[in-house]
Structure 1
Amino acid sequence: MDVRVQSAGPTEPFLGARDLFTTEHDLDLPVNVHVRDNPDSRTWTAHYDDHHVLNISRQAANSAMARPLALHEYSHMRRHETDHPSHVQSTREALYLALAGHSVERRTLSHCYQIANHMKDIYADDITLTVAPADRLVAFLESSLAAALADRPADPPSWTRLTPAADPEITAVNAAFALALLERHDCIDDDHRLYDLAHAAANDAVGIELAAFKRRFRDLGTDPDAGEYRRALVEATREYATRSNYAAD
């Protein structure tokens, strides 16, 4: 597996992740790593005929999460190389099918794309968690959800929301994804703090059933064919769009 760090910045996280990844898996195409100066840049990958690209912010590349993030992205690359339905099917086509006959706001549509990304992440991390312990992933998901719960207005004094004023529905879905992924791989105990955080998120999300979305993510088939995966994606996004407060028939 050929990993080339193209920018000035740390190399160890990406090479270390490569060494760990190749204990169980491999990539046919080389990986070009680009460390971006923009601290707001998300870690993301692009795929070409002769190579993959991993883009990561300098801040993330120098953080404790750099190696786990690289492992996660290598897993996405592996799914792409093996033509896994979650990584090669058109998300746009599936969403058009799911939302046919419904009128949804642009924000709701972006949330549906996020649900599709969660489903991709489930399959990527099915690989990641075969080569790396889940400790940092668990801590990352817990801190991310805790931060979302804490990000709420201080006024008025009678405020009772438990999650941010913006988009509590997708916050609840994100919580369902976190629990689903960790339950899928037996990474947390029943009394883990994430359950309390997830239920707090669900309490503020009208029309979103935490248990239902958790089940959808957790129980995704390990080796679906194209039709099975499309059906799972259509059903999940349709459930979100038609139950959320942003949808209108």
Structure 2
Amino acid sequence: MDVRVLGRGPTDPFLSARDLFETEYDLSLPVEVRVRTDPDERTYTGHYADHHVLNISVSAATSAMARELSLHEFAHMHRYEQAHPSHMQSTEEAIYLALAGRSVERRKLTHCYQIANHMKDIYADDITLDVGPADKLVAFLESSLATALAERPVSAPRAWRRLTPASDPDITAVNAAFALALVERHDLVDDDHRLYDLAAAAGSDAPAVSVEQFKARFESLADDPDESEYRKSLVDVTRAYAGGTEQAAD
């Protein structure tokens, strides 16, 4: 597994993540890690015909979560190389199928893309948590949800994945469901963990969103769905969140 670090920044977190990833998985294509000077640069992966790119800010690359961030992005790359439906399905297509002919609030339409990313993250973290420790991920989920509940609006930390770009109660409730689904899918916390209290608070702020139902949707995603099965899951969760009314879409 070839990992090359470009730009100013440390190399150890990325090489350490590579070594840990290689204990169970591998990538066919080389990885370019591009360390950006912009402190607000979000961590994300790009895929090309002959390589992958991991874009990350200096601040994230030098943080305590740098290795875990890299593992998570390597997992996305692996899912892409697998041609896993979660990483091949067009989000735009699924949202169109789900909401065609319906009127939907713009904010909810935006949230649907975040929900689709959560579904990708479920499958990436099935790999991440197979090779790496879970403590930092659980702590991140807890602190992000607590911050979203405490402050509206809030600038969430641009590390790992942003649970919400602002503390909209509806999407915060879905984000809480995602957090619970991920920890329950991998049996990471006890029933009395603080995440459950935070999720209950998020649910009480958004009575139109069922945290339990969305948690069940995320947690029950099939390990190896075919294209049709995954598309149906994405369409169903989109309709459940932003079904809209039966008239021309905005």
What TM-score, normalized to structure 2? Answer: 0.91
How many angstroms apart in 2 are the aligned matches of 1:196 and 1:143? Answer: 13
What amino acid sits opposite 1:70 in the alignment?
S
What amino acid sits opposite 1:94 in the alignment?
A
Deviation at 1:248, TM superposition (A): 4.5
Structure 2: unaligned runs, 5 residues or longer: 154-164
How many angstroms apart in 2 are the aligned matches of 1:179 and 1:41? Answer: 27
What amino acid sits opposite 1:127 in the alignment?
I
What amino acid sits opposite 2:89 in the alignment?
Q
Tell me, what secondary structure is at the counterpart of 2:33? Answer: strand
Identity %: 71
Aligned position for 2:62: 62
Deviation at 1:117, TM superposition (A): 0.2
What amino acid sits opposite 2:206 in the alignment?
A
How many angstroms apart in 2 are the aligned matches of 1:166 and 1:192? Answer: 22
How many angstroms apart in 1 are the aligned matches of 2:22 and 2:167? Answer: 41
Aligned position for 2:140: 140
Q: Are the aligned partners of 2:37 and 2:58 in contact in 1 as well (CA < 8 Å)?
A: yes
Please, what is the CA RMSD of the aligned residues? 1.5
Deviation at 1:101, TM superposition (A): 2.0
Tell me, what secondary structure is at the counterpart of 1:239? Answer: helix
Aligned runs of 1:24-173 on 2, under 5 Å? 24-152=24-152, 166-173=167-174
How many angstroms apart in 2 are the aligned matches of 1:127 and 1:150? Answer: 31
How many angstroms apart in 2 are the aligned matches of 1:70 and 1:177? Answer: 21
Q: Are the aligned partners of 2:8 and 2:58 in contact in 1 as well (CA < 8 Å)?
A: no
Q: Are the aligned partners of 2:98 and 2:239 in contact in 1 as well (CA < 8 Å)?
A: yes
CA-to-aligned-CA distance 1:131-155 (integer Å, 9 cap, x gap): 01111100010011011111048xx
CA-to-aligned-CA distance 1:4-62 (integer Å, 9 cap, x gap): 00111111110000000000000000000011111211110000000000001111111
Q: Are the aligned partners of 2:149 and 2:167 in contact in 1 as well (CA < 8 Å)?
A: no
How many angstroms apart in 2 are the aligned matches of 1:18 and 1:165? Answer: 33
Structure 1: unaligned runs, 5 residues or longer: 154-163
Q: Which runs of 4+ in 1 moved over 4 A?
A: none
How many angstroms apart in 2 are the aligned matches of 1:201 and 1:58? Answer: 32
How many angstroms apart in 2 are the aligned matches of 1:148 and 1:91? Answer: 25
How many angstroms apart in 2 are the aligned matches of 1:9 and 1:248? Answer: 50
Tell me, what secondary structure is at the counterpart of 1:103? Answer: coil
How many angstroms apart in 1 are the aligned matches of 2:235 and 2:29? Answer: 31
Deviation at 1:110, TM superposition (A): 1.1
Aligned position for 2:207: 206
How many angstroms apart in 2 are the aligned matches of 1:20 and 1:165? Answer: 34
Aligned position for 2:226: 225
How many angstroms apart in 2 are the aligned matches of 1:46 and 1:121? Answer: 15
Tell me, what secondary structure is at the counterpart of 1:35? Answer: strand
Aligned position for 2:158: none
How many angstroms apart in 2 are the aligned matches of 1:44 and 1:100? Answer: 29
What TM-score, normalized to structure 1? Answer: 0.92
Deviation at 1:165, TM superposition (A): 8.4
Q: Are the aligned partners of 2:17 and 2:68 in contact in 1 as well (CA < 8 Å)?
A: yes
How many angstroms apart in 2 are the aligned matches of 1:205 and 1:36? Answer: 37
Aligned runs of 1:180-219 on 2, under 5 Å? 180-219=181-220
Tell me, what secondary structure is at the counterpart of 1:104? Answer: coil
Tell me, what secondary structure is at the counterpart of 1:78? Answer: helix
Q: Are the aligned partners of 2:173 and 2:206 in contact in 1 as well (CA < 8 Å)?
A: yes
Deviation at 1:166, TM superposition (A): 4.6
CA-to-aligned-CA distance 1:116-174 (integer Å, 9 cap, x gap): 00000000000011101111100010011011111048xxxxxxxxxx98511000000
Deviation at 1:214, TM superposition (A): 0.2
How many angstroms apart in 1 are the aligned matches of 2:69 and 2:196? Answer: 24
Tell me, what secondary structure is at the counterpart of 2:35? Answer: strand
How many angstroms apart in 2 are the aligned matches of 1:151 and 1:166? Answer: 7
What amino acid sits opposite 1:133 in the alignment?
P
